[in-house]
């Protein structure tokens, strides 16, 4: 009898241990940080800064939304960001967040590709995500967008809204990514008005508002009446010049097309009812970041994978603040949007644009 009692007691101990172990594994599987309510997430901005009114700000808004939905507090054990004043800060900032053991760390922008790759190799126990670039590492998820598709639509809007037929594009740093914005935009202009011309200038930086302003000044003087910028904080200078011109001459048609976020508020001319934002190419970085962070917190981090968001996922497109677009222009934009969804391939390189035929 004693042996049977001892055996029964041992069985109960073992069973209890098994149940507790299973509970522990279940909790841990909800994310690399355990319980998703304790999941921590952080991001490193590029030199444009967290308040660039563009994709850095949008990424931060996505993280903040996740934090709010999950009861997290801003700070070391919840969610935060580190701002980079120069590209020399990227590696340092990423490494700092990895040492602080954040469960998921974002690098915002293709300029962080090398730094993410370096730190991911050094910190194999940490999970990273990069926006607008691809880093082929098992502990890195890559988020990319079909910016050329959304840029095509605002190109159509620019071509049909311009009265001079002269249109401008201001890019930040010339790169494969920003070329997608440029090429898609030019294709949209070409599709809507083959006689229109597009003047292209690159500022060489994403944080030089004064260069953006000077570039816009030159373009507007040459007869350009619509400028699309894909230049981050440099693009604020484009808005500044357009607002100054509109304030000097309220009857003048001078427009800016915003990027990444709905930049309608950025175009408001102080002290008047005028607004120089024609529309914006919206790239829903915030939605993508919130979506990926949620997946990671639930134990479904897509390390080693590239996730691409496009027009068919409603991740890029034209902003809802379209008060300055005519009904005819809106109708045409919608028609071209459907063509793209139905299979029209929008070019993203010079070679593809050369062979592009809009139908």
Digitized pLDDT (tens) for each residue of the chain, 359 residues in all: 444 443 434 343 333 343 333 343 333 333 444 454 589 999 999 988 898 878 899 999 999 999 999 999 999 899 999 999 999 999 999 999 999 999 999 999 999 999 999 999 999 999 999 999 999 999 999 999 999 999 999 999 999 999 999 999 999 999 999 999 999 999 999 999 999 999 999 999 999 999 999 999 999 999 999 999 999 999 999 999 999 999 999 999 999 999 999 999 999 999 999 999 999 999 999 999 999 999 999 999 999 999 999 998 889 999 988 889 999 999 999 999 999 999 999 999 999 999 998 87
Q: What is the pLDDT of residue 33?
A: 41
Query: And the tokens for 280?
Result: 């914006």
For residue 229, the Cα-to-chain-centroid distance in whole angstroms is 14
Instruction: List the domain boundaries for the chain.
Output: 36-145+286-311, 147-282+326-354
pTM of the model: 0.81
Buried b (16+ CB within 10 A) or exposed e, 59-83: bbbbbbbbbeebebeeeeebbbbbb
36-145+286-311, CATH topology level:
Rossmann fold (3.40.50)
Query: And the tokens for 224?
Result: 């350009």
Please tell me the distance from the alpha carbon of residue 187 to that of residue 182, in angstroms, as a whole number.
9
Query: And the tokens for 290?
Result: 């919130």
CATH of domain 147-282+326-354: 3.40.50.2300
| Non-local CB neighbours of 233 within 8 Å, separated by 6+ positions | 48, 49, 52, 53, 54, 206, 207, 208, 209
Whether 212 contacts 236, CB under 8 Å? yes
For residue 140, the Cα-to-chain-centroid distance in whole angstroms is 17
How far is residue 123 from each of residues 114, 120, 152, 307, measured CA to CA in Å? 14, 5, 39, 22
């Amino acid at each position: 009898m004693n042996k049977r009692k001892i055996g029964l007691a041992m069985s109960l101990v073992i069973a209890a241990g098994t149940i507790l172990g299973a509970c522990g594994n279940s909790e841990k599987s909800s994310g690399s940080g355990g319980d998703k309510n304790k999941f921590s997430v952080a991001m490193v901005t590029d030199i444009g800064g967290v308040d660039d009114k563009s994709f850095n700000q949008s990424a931060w808004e996505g993280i903040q939304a996740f934090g709010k939905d999950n009861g997290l507090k801003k700070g070391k054990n919840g969610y935060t960001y580190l701002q980079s004043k120069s590209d020399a800060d990227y590696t340092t900032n990423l490494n700092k967040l990895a040492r602080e053991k954040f469960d998921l760390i974002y690098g915002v922008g293709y300029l962080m590709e090398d730094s993410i790759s370096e730190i991911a190799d050094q910190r194999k126990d940490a999970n990273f995500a990069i926006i607008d670039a691809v880093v082929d590492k098992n502990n890195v998820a890559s988020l990319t967008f079909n910016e050329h598709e959304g840029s095509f639509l605002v190109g159509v809007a620019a071509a049909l809204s311009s009265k001079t037929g002269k249109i401008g594009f201001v890019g930040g740093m010339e790169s494969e990514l920003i070329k997608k914005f440029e090429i898609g935009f030019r294709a949209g202009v070409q599709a809507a008005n083959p006689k229109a011309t597009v003047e292209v200038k690159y500022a060489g930086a994403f944080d030089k508002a004064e260069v953006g302003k000077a570039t816009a000044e030159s373009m507007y003087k040459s007869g350009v009446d619509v400028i699309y910028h894909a230049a981050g904080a440099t693009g604020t200078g484009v808005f500044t010049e357009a607002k100054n011109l509109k304030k000097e001459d309220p009857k003048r048609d001078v427009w800016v097309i915003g990027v990444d976020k709905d930049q309608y508020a950025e175009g408001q001319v102080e002290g008047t009812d005028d607004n120089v934002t024609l529309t914006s190419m919206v790239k829903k970085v915030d939605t993508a970041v919130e979506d990926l962070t949620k997946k990671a917190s639930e134990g479904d981090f897509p390390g080693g994978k590239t996730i691409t968001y496009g027009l068919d996922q409603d991740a890029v497109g034209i902003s809802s603040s379209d008060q300055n677009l005519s009904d005819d222009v809106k109708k045409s934009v919608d028609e071209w949007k459907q063509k793209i969804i139905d299979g029209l391939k929008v070019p993203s390189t010079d070679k593809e644009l050369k062979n592009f035929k809009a139908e």
